[in-house]
Amino acid sequence: MANKYVYSFDEGKKDMRSLLGGKGANLGEMTSIGLSVPQGFTITTEACIRFFDENEQLWDELLKEVEQHMEELEGKTGKKFSDINNPLLVSVRSGAVISMPGMMDTILNLGLNDESVKGLATLTGNEKFAYDSYRRFIQMFSDVAMEIPKVRFDMLLEGVKEERGVQDDMDLSADDFKKLVEEFKAVYKDEKGEDFPQNPTDQLRLAIKAVFASWQNPRARVYRNLHGIAHDLGTAVNIQSMVFGNMGKDCGTGVAFTRNPATGENKLFGEYLIDAQGEDVVAGIRTPEDIATLKENMPEVYDEFVKGTEILENHYKDMQDIEFTIEKGKLYFLQTRDGKRTAHAAIKVAVDLVEEKFITKEQAIMRVNPDDLNQLLHPAFDTADLDKATKLAKGLAASPGAATGQIYFNAEDLVEAKENGAETCILVRQETSPEDIEGMIAAEGILTARGGMTSHAAVVARGMGKCCVAGCNEIDVNEAAKTMKVGDTVLTEGDFISLDGGTGTVYEGKIDKADPELGGDFHTFMEWVDEMRTMGVRANADTPVDIKQALEFGAEGVGLTRTEHMFFNLERLPSVRKMILAKDNAERIKSLEELLIVQRNDFQELYRTVRERPMTVRLLDPPLHEFLPHGEKDKEEVAKMMNIDLSELEVRMNSLYEVNPMLGHRGCRLAVTYPEIYKMQARAIIEAALNVAKEENIAIVPEIMIPLIGHIDELKYVKSQVVDEINAVFEERNETMKYLLGTMIEVPRAALTSDEIATEAEFFSFGTNDLTQMGFGFSRDDAGKFLSEYVEKRIFDCDPFQKIDQKGIGKLMEMSVELGRKTRPDIKLGICGEHGGEPTSVEFCHRLGLTYVSCSPYRVPIAKLAAAQAALR
Amino acid sequence: MANKYVYSFDEGKKDMRSLLGGKGANLGEMTSIGLSVPQGFTITTEACIRFFDENEQLWDELLKEVEQHMEELEGKTGKKFSDINNPLLVSVRSGAVISMPGMMDTILNLGLNDESVKGLATLTGNEKFAYDSYRRFIQMFSDVAMEIPKVRFDMLLEGVKEERGVQDDMDLSADDFKKLVEEFKAVYKDEKGEDFPQNPTDQLRLAIKAVFASWQNPRARVYRNLHGIAHDLGTAVNIQSMVFGNMGKDCGTGVAFTRNPATGENKLFGEYLIDAQGEDVVAGIRTPEDIATLKENMPEVYDEFVKGTEILENHYKDMQDIEFTIEKGKLYFLQTRDGKRTAHAAIKVAVDLVEEKFITKEQAIMRVNPDDLNQLLHPAFDTADLDKATKLAKGLAASPGAATGQIYFNAEDLVEAKENGAETCILVRQETSPEDIEGMIAAEGILTARGGMTSHAAVVARGMGKCCVAGCNEIDVNEAAKTMKVGDTVLTEGDFISLDGGTGTVYEGKIDKADPELGGDFHTFMEWVDEMRTMGVRANADTPVDIKQALEFGAEGVGLTRTEHMFFNLERLPSVRKMILAKDNAERIKSLEELLIVQRNDFQELYRTVRERPMTVRLLDPPLHEFLPHGEKDKEEVAKMMNIDLSELEVRMNSLYEVNPMLGHRGCRLAVTYPEIYKMQARAIIEAALNVAKEENIAIVPEIMIPLIGHIDELKYVKSQVVDEINAVFEERNETMKYLLGTMIEVPRAALTSDEIATEAEFFSFGTNDLTQMGFGFSRDDAGKFLSEYVEKRIFDCDPFQKIDQKGIGKLMEMSVELGRKTRPDIKLGICGEHGGEPTSVEFCHRLGLTYVSCSPYRVPIAKLAAAQAALR
């Protein structure tokens, strides 16, 4: 038997999506559940695939099948495709398996020609409608199927409107449209070298070919690349008899959602236009009316529509986005699909649907896109206010949220301004460095001209849940002059700007914003998420404030405490610098004794906050020169404090200079050279844990993490120093406690030799930032410049610093997990890189079987949801 | 049956090395072939292993076995161990399977005590000899077996000598020695709290325990770590009856080689002392006599000795290093082993032995240590002159050879000095940069204060075969003042220094040196090497001069031509800088057109030199800022040339600044941003190859290599640009030629995804420098500072930039080879990192089945020998 390539709507079902495309399957489904749907049929995706196999030609059997279905359609509608008196008009639409906005879409009114347009005029008694329909068809057919630039038609239409002095297309007369039809046909002939096709069968054949061919157009390919959709799926073609909402006052067209897509409220939401075609609603020339008013205007139609929406929502068990048309008082459903919604609505709808017993908790969890939660967790601009705002520039959306404030060009000025009463300030820098930390804390938002998604500004801002736009190349920051320039606009200290960290947009002036509210639905939803999820979720947090925030968002512990962030604190920096610049060991040990006291206090505070939950503390990681003074003034101060000449200070500073600091003297390498640093830190951690455990009568199991391990002998060396110091503490105090000692896996060699590393490490935590840097061989500080080009040129699907590169970096992780478990089957495995809060990466970690992911406090709910979805998949 | 732990010498054979140790096996072998060897026996390494298993205790059965063998020995010698009148004295020596200088070595005269010393005096009629022997025994036993500091005895001996006003120990009297014996015993009692053991059996038991225990002393452990010797082999103990070379004028002792160890000449070579013990020869207090004079002094002994040496060389089939003693006119052989020799001698001996039909070519090849060839290929200092020279400092032995010359602190001054007639100059820099290249070419040698084994200076110097000492931290270079300071010594421009690149030593003043001579033996030997080797050996060479040198050393082609080295040439640098600093594409393309002409000429010269041999050309690799001017004066010149302000130049230069240039915008990433650069280079290569192929009527197959690939889509993108340009050349000229397009594998991710990469790459070349940098996560520019500490602290066995880290980086290579071959079974695989000329790395590459290794021209013979040895293994 020959293959069946064409399905009538009454043969289609919603689960035939891969054969009929999303639209075709839903039209079939609506038909089969008895809704009023204009009759039609679908040519399958398999036909599309065969079309490409046969050099983009349609074959006879297919044309015959289409002809049979056209005849059937003629029978059902009582119209004839080539009847000039009562013509059957159809729409032709593409319909892929996965919705693809980049593709060819719709041709309406196909079947019209110079003769049948007259028949249509007579039949409807509406010449204007008939010629308007014909000119629309010519334009759409030419544009969509024949690739004639739309602008050529638009210019003619605008010309006539100007001539007539009207604004609305509908104010033109039948004669105007007649004239336009002639002019449009002339354009067609000019472009294609032949007359506009008059035979409806030819029109249909060309339209089908055009829809098929559009599957491979460049926009569509780009879209598929971007969304990881396979190129060999093909598209279906839907051919449907036309219904007209624009035949008079008893006609209309509209769009409605079964629930409010912004709030999730369970109340019909939508709008419609009387005497209009679908495109008019979208075009926004006339203001549509609220769907509720349809009740008064056409009560019967309204009741039927409401019944239909209820049937559809019951049937699809999700909020539906429905298109409909009313032709001479008769309601037709043209399309239904799951409605797009805000994160707020998504959660409310999901929770409501579970409570209404439409769906299970599991289904509810799968319905919410983890990334969308970002909207909920950060403040956002008022939409109305945003529309009026002037865009200044666009940078990287480095940390979500919205910020409005006065600009300051260095941390000191900003802090001073705040102290003098400035309400909200924004820190604007070429790029930030650890010295800016106090300014970043005081700022509402951060804007940098340089640096990528994982630059200092971006990482720190995300950790703080603070809005940040980074790497905004368009602005020219002059820190000395305290000005920023964008094009011709120059802003000076104290001027207001606004940042949208979710889009990377920088606006001039103030914009109102609203703080996020996490309602009861959110908490109910997150409870279900916690039920389903099997992987742990911790937060990266360096301060009691961070930890509190993380716990509020549901973190189960701390996956990464960076001790260096304590070092950057302005009060401690002098001791840190004295330690680094010490001329000898004795001097260094003296400074370390000062630091021991403050670090122990820090850790005590942290343990009092995190209590019995696990907390992984990473020993000092960054190269020491990061802590050194930058400006001349700073240097002088430090020299004075150290009691040495400026020139001597510079000699000592220069000896720390590195060509590639990222690959330099940092992490555990510091502890090889200066074992006393890690010893001090280990002592501070254990003493703090012992103190708090006693004081609060709780059980604490410190997790101490050694960074940048690449070789087992390196770990052995450093570990033995740490263990000796801890044993010394136990002996001095005649106390003991259980603790864990583990490593970061962030150096490729550590991943490759994890079987060896696991002999000494009780846990691994993947540092996927560094693993990505070293695995790809690019520095996150520098890659910003060319990585965007890589993404633009489609060399990379996405920035590997945002989503784990599963093929390459993921392979290292996989090897490490496998080798690590071979040596130590019960090894604790986590991730504390930036990827720990990114949904596809979280899913990957789940598949690897990690014990937990750790991310910035603000991404904890996102990571949890992604983990739950991964567990359900 | 109980285990046998003790073997009499007449039971031992040379192939029982692992049981009896090297010394024991050879003593057995000499005994069994009938040479006169003092009788004795060996306690096995298995006994040593059991000793450690049993908490370092000797067990009864062992002691009984030793006792039985002592009795046997008494029978053979006619002496008795505890006979105070005719005492049997023995030596006790350790003897590991692999010779280990770090271990406990020898105790002589064991068996003496307060009574038997008198018997010995009576028996020999030589009281002085007897007491001298006794005091030596006490001292050695105390030092070696009981760990009493040797200095305590030396001080006493010196004291007596001073008192007597004599210089030579032998000028002391019997009474002096008697007194010393008493004093030595007092030291023993003071240190150990008990009397010096008088019972010979106790002495022997303690000595055996001490030898066993010495296997685990720290020096021995360090030595084994350093040489990769297993810790569980254990040592044997040799107990041998004493013979005395110091009993009068008819006694003597000496050392001889069967051939000349410096030249390889087939003539007995050695020296001896009359009336002396072995240690006296070594101590150098008396000047020994040439072995030839023994013929006159003791003609019979001489004849017997010569016959013995012939027997031994025939037997061992290699040049022997033999120790002997003559006791009252009777010759004894005490030890024989393969003699250490210079590279020169090693080759001559190997070739001679093959010609004398003692050994096969294969055996000859295995006899020469590849690293030793370095001596042959580079000039060396005159040894006598070197002994007199004053050492200034010690740095890294970055590139072998010897250099003497006047110091200059920048390239310009050095070049000028040469032009003004300076004969030989040495470039002294903080660290070198590409701008120094002309100075490096003109210099005799290079000395830098910073930078490691793979710093710019080191890499370039090795490529040129030029002597270089790098990272010499002890010297303080002041480039501005043109001085260098070491401790209190200050040297200024024009002063002479000398560098030994083989040891890293810096000397003050001039030292004479000799150029290397590669004799006919060398060429014969290398021919055999070429016969045996299965892996190809190419050279890294960037200029016709380099290539010529490489071909002379036997390179089969060029594995790496770095096009950037052409860019650094002073004549081209202006065009390069114009290209880099171009304000737009048009300007850039103009400069590239200038560069096309010079690059095409360069490639033509290269192809004329390399001819039909393969040559892999790497497209531009370093970050562009490497080509920018550094000094103020340079910047001004460039600004003038570019016709822009200095400030504008600085803006453009700053935009190229990178935090981690190693991980920055370089390699193929440049070609993503500026495709025109690689296009120009591809055109230059292909046009040059077409021109030379026609002009010389030869077949050239260009190999074009794209660096720093990390992702298949990156390769596809860059490759398509290159291929398009090549096709354009073919079309323009209506000619075509076969060419290969491949990649470096130097980014870990490329190794991990080599199956994908191989779909587009026709060959891989492992860039193990970068692979090591990224795999370990340390920059070779910065790691110098801490890597030496890693090696010192035994965290690393060796610098992974020198020897491939087979466990980690090697694993990446292994994966890459396997994955690459899966996709493309015939893929060409090479290595062009610095490791390509290092023997253990070459062997590893052979095991991986690489097609070739490529190294600096001066290491080609080394790589070839290593490859041949690997093939034979």
Question: How confident is the model over A568-595, as a mean pLDDT?
Answer: 86
**In this predicted model, what pLDDT tens digit does every residue of B697-755 receive, in sequence order?**
999 999 999 999 999 999 999 999 999 999 999 999 999 999 999 999 999 999 999 99
The three-point CA angle B802-B838-B792 to 5° equals 30
**Contact, B756 vs B712, CB < 8 A?**
yes
| Least confident piece of the model among A197-201, A770-774, B213-217, B772-776 | B213-217
Cα A317 to Cα A312: distance, rounded to the nearest angstrom: 8
DSSP3 helix / strand / coil % (chain B, rounded to 5):
50, 15, 30
Q: Which of the following is catalytic: A832, A845, A846, A855?
A: A832
Which of chain A's residues have a Cβ under 8 Å away from the Cβ of B786?
Answer: 665, 669, 672-673
Answer whether residue B1 shows pLDDT above 50.
Answer: no
Per-residue pLDDT band at A641 (split at 50, 70, 90): confident
Are A660 and B781 in contact (CB < 8 Å)?
Answer: yes
**In this predicted model, what pLDDT tens digit does every residue of B305-333 receive, in sequence order?**
999 999 999 999 999 999 999 999 999 99
Residue B796 touches partner A, C-beta closer than 8 Å: yes
Active site residue A467: no
CB pairs under 8 A, 24+ apart, for A313-316? Answer: A313/A258, A313/A259, A313/A358, A314/A358, A315/A29, A315/A33, A316/A14
Q: Which of A795, A813, A815 to mutate to test the interface with B (most CBs of B within 10 A)?
A: A795
A783-792, B582-591, B816-825 — most confident range: B816-825
Residue that wins the pLDDT comparison between A852 and A262: A852
Question: How confident is the model over A791-807, as a mean pLDDT?
Answer: 88
Are B809 and A663 in contact (CB < 8 Å)?
Answer: no
| Least confident piece of the model among A144-148, A784-788, B43-47, B752-756 | A784-788
Residue that wins the pLDDT comparison between A573 and B607: B607
**In this predicted model, what pLDDT tens digit does every residue of A457-490 receive, in sequence order?**
887 887 777 899 988 888 989 888 899 999 889 9
**Contact, B646 vs B637, CB < 8 A?**
no
Q: What pLDDT is stored for residue A681 in this prediction? A: 97
**Contact, B138 vs B181, CB < 8 A?**
yes
Please list, residue by residue across A798-828, b when 16 or more beta carbons sit within 10 angstroms of its beta carbon and e when fewer do.
ebbbbbbbbebbbbbbebbbebbbeebeebb
Which of chain A's residues have a Cβ under 8 Å away from the Cβ of B669?
Answer: 778, 786
Residue A454 touches partner B, C-beta closer than 8 Å: no
Which of chain A's residues have a Cβ under 8 Å away from the Cβ of B809?
Answer: 749
**Contact, B378 vs B402, CB < 8 A?**
yes
Tokens describing residue B495: 């002063």
- At residue A265, the 3 state secondary structure works out as coil
Q: What pLDDT is stored for residue A756 in this prediction? A: 97
Cα A778 to Cα A790: distance, rounded to the nearest angstrom: 13
**In this predicted model, what pLDDT tens digit does every residue of A708-722 receive, in sequence order?**
999 999 999 999 999
Cα B851 to Cα B824: distance, rounded to the nearest angstrom: 14
Answer whether residue A182 shows pLDDT above 80.
Answer: yes
Per-residue pLDDT band at B145 (split at 50, 70, 90): confident
Q: What pLDDT is stored for residue B567 in this prediction? A: 84
Cα A209 to Cα A48: distance, rounded to the nearest angstrom: 9
Per-residue pLDDT band at B690 (split at 50, 70, 90): very high
Per-residue pLDDT band at B226 (split at 50, 70, 90): low
**In this predicted model, what pLDDT tens digit does every residue of A670-711 receive, in sequence order?**
999 899 999 999 999 999 999 999 999 999 999 999 999 999
Which of chain A's residues have a Cβ under 8 Å away from the Cβ of B776?
Answer: 710-711, 747-749
Q: What pLDDT is stored for residue B441 in this prediction? A: 86
Cα A70 to Cα A241: distance, rounded to the nearest angstrom: 10
Question: How confident is the model over B829-851, as a mean pLDDT?
Answer: 95
**In this predicted model, what pLDDT tens digit does every residue of B778-800 receive, in sequence order?**
998 888 778 878 887 878 878 89
Please compute, for residue B69, the number of CA atoms within 13 A of its CA located in the half-sphere on the CB side: 24
Which of chain B's residues have a Cβ under 8 Å away from the Cβ of A789?
Answer: 672-673
For chain B, what percent of residues have pLDDT higher than 90? 63
Q: Which of residues 730 through 769 in chain A touch B, CB cutoff 8 A?
A: 746-749, 752-753, 756
Answer whether residue B827 shows pLDDT above 90.
Answer: yes
Residue A721 touches partner B, C-beta closer than 8 Å: no
Tokens describing residue A540: 């990266």
Q: What pLDDT is stored for residue A102 in this prediction? A: 57
A490: alpha, beta or left, given left = phi > 0 and alpha = psi -120 to 50?
beta
**Contact, A236 vs A96, CB < 8 A?**
yes
Which of chain A's residues have a Cβ under 8 Å away from the Cβ of B785?
Answer: 665
Are B793 and A672 in contact (CB < 8 Å)?
Answer: yes
**In this predicted model, what pLDDT tens digit does every residue of A112-155 receive, in sequence order?**
999 999 999 998 888 999 999 999 999 999 988 888 988 899 89
Which of chain B's residues have a Cβ under 8 Å away from the Cβ of A748?
Answer: 748, 774-777, 808, 812
Q: Which residues are CB-contacts of A124 (< 8 A; sequence separation ≥ 6)?
A: A130, A247
Question: How confident is the model over A386-403, as a mean pLDDT?
Answer: 87
Residue that wins the pLDDT comparison between A191 and B284: A191
Residue A613 touches partner B, C-beta closer than 8 Å: no
Pairing of strands B505-508, B496-500: antiparallel
Written as one letter, the residue type at A608 is R
Cα A463 to Cα A455: distance, rounded to the nearest angstrom: 12
Question: How confident is the model over A556-566, as a mean pLDDT?
Answer: 91
Q: Which of the following is catalytic: B468, B832, B845, B855?
A: B832
Backbone angles phi, psi at A492, to 5 degrees: -120, 170
Name the H helices within A284-360: 294-297, 299-316, 343-355
**In this predicted model, what pLDDT tens digit does every residue of B609-641 receive, in sequence order?**
999 999 999 999 998 888 888 778 888 888 898
B482 burial level (CB within 10 Å; 0-12, 13-18, 19+): middle
Q: What pLDDT is stored for residue B730 in this prediction? A: 98
Cα B686 to Cα B729: distance, rounded to the nearest angstrom: 8
Are B782 and A752 in contact (CB < 8 Å)?
Answer: no
Residue B503 touches partner A, C-beta closer than 8 Å: no
Answer whether residue B437 shows pLDDT above 70.
Answer: yes
**Contact, B556 vs B617, CB < 8 A?**
no
DSSP summary character for residue A232: T
Cα B671 to Cα B679: distance, rounded to the nearest angstrom: 9
> Which of A713, A747, A785 lies at the smallest CB-CB distance from B776?
A747
Question: How confident is the model over A22-26, as a mean pLDDT?
Answer: 92
Nearest-Cα distance to chain A for B775, in Å, is 5
**In this predicted model, what pLDDT tens digit does every residue of B338-363 receive, in sequence order?**
888 888 889 999 999 999 999 999 99
DSSP summary character for residue B11: G
| Least confident piece of the model among A506-520, A661-675, B519-533 | A506-520
Residue A800 touches partner B, C-beta closer than 8 Å: no
Nearest CA in chain A to B716: A795
Cα B569 to Cα B573: distance, rounded to the nearest angstrom: 6
Q: What pLDDT is stored for residue A1 in this prediction? A: 44
Backbone angles phi, psi at B427, to 5 degrees: -85, 125
Nearest-Cα distance to chain A for B466, in Å, is 25
Q: Please, what is the average pLDDT of chain A? A: 91
Q: What pLDDT is stored for residue A297 in this prediction? A: 92
B667 burial level (CB within 10 Å; 0-12, 13-18, 19+): buried
**In this predicted model, what pLDDT tens digit does every residue of A413-448 receive, in sequence order?**
998 998 888 889 999 998 888 778 888 888 999 999
Name the H helices within B674-757: 675-696, 712-733, 748-752, 754-757
**In this predicted model, what pLDDT tens digit does every residue of B560-573 receive, in sequence order?**
999 987 887 777 88
Residue B808 touches partner A, C-beta closer than 8 Å: yes
DSSP summary character for residue A287: P
Which of chain B's residues have a Cβ under 8 Å away from the Cβ of A804?
Answer: none
| Least confident piece of the model among B52-56, B463-467, B496-500, B819-823 | B463-467
Nearest CA in chain B to A712: B795
Per-residue pLDDT band at B2 (split at 50, 70, 90): low
Residue A792 touches partner B, C-beta closer than 8 Å: no
Interface A-B, measured as beta-carbon pairs within 8 A, has a size of: 171
> Which of A659, A756, A786 lies at the smallest CB-CB distance from B672?
A786
Summary count for chain A: helices (H), strands (E): 36, 31
Residue A806 touches partner B, C-beta closer than 8 Å: no
Question: How confident is the model over A60-73, as a mean pLDDT?
Answer: 95
Cα A127 to Cα A133: distance, rounded to the nearest angstrom: 10
Question: Any bridge partners for residue A396, and if so which?
Answer: A470
Q: Which residues are CB-contacts of B494 (< 8 A; sequence separation ≥ 6)?
A: B406, B407, B408, B417
CA neighbor of B236 nearest in space, from B10, B25, B74, B2? B25
**Contact, B754 vs B711, CB < 8 A?**
no
Answer whether residue A245 shows pLDDT above 80.
Answer: yes
**In this predicted model, what pLDDT tens digit does every residue of A208-225 receive, in sequence order?**
999 999 898 877 887 787
CA neighbor of B286 nearest in space, from B253, B242, B329, B325? B253
Which of chain B's residues have a Cβ under 8 Å away from the Cβ of A745?
Answer: none
Cα A64 to Cα B424: distance, rounded to the nearest angstrom: 93
Distance separating the N- and C-terminal Cα atoms of chain B: 38
For chain A, what percent of residues have pLDDT higher than 90? 63
Answer whether residue B407 shows pLDDT above 80.
Answer: yes
Distance separating the N- and C-terminal Cα atoms of chain A: 38
Count of CB atoms situated within 10 Å of the CB of B198: 13
Q: What pLDDT is stored for residue B285 in this prediction? A: 60
Residue that wins the pLDDT comparison between A187 and B567: A187
Which of chain B's residues have a Cβ under 8 Å away from the Cβ of A747?
Answer: 775-777
Are A808 and B710 in contact (CB < 8 Å)?
Answer: yes
Active site residue B456: yes
For chain B, what percent of residues have pLDDT higher than 70? 98
Nearest CA in chain B to A710: B776
Question: How confident is the model over A186-200, as a mean pLDDT?
Answer: 94
Per-residue pLDDT band at A850 (split at 50, 70, 90): very high
Q: Which of residues 637 through 676 in chain A touch B, CB cutoff 8 A?
A: 658-665, 669, 672-673
Answer whether residue A741 shows pLDDT above 80.
Answer: yes
Nearest-Cα distance to chain A for B673, in Å, is 7
Question: How confident is the model over B421-450, as a mean pLDDT?
Answer: 88
Per-residue pLDDT band at B281 (split at 50, 70, 90): low
The number of angstroms, rounded, from the C-alpha of B467 to the middle of its chain's C-alpha atoms is 16
Q: Which of residues 238 through 277 in chain B touch A, CB cutoff 8 A?
A: none
Per-residue pLDDT band at B283 (split at 50, 70, 90): low
Nearest-Cα distance to chain A for B149, in Å, is 30
> Which of B658, B773, B794 lies at the smallest CB-CB distance from A663?
B773
Are A663 and B779 in contact (CB < 8 Å)?
Answer: yes
Residue B102 touches partner A, C-beta closer than 8 Å: no
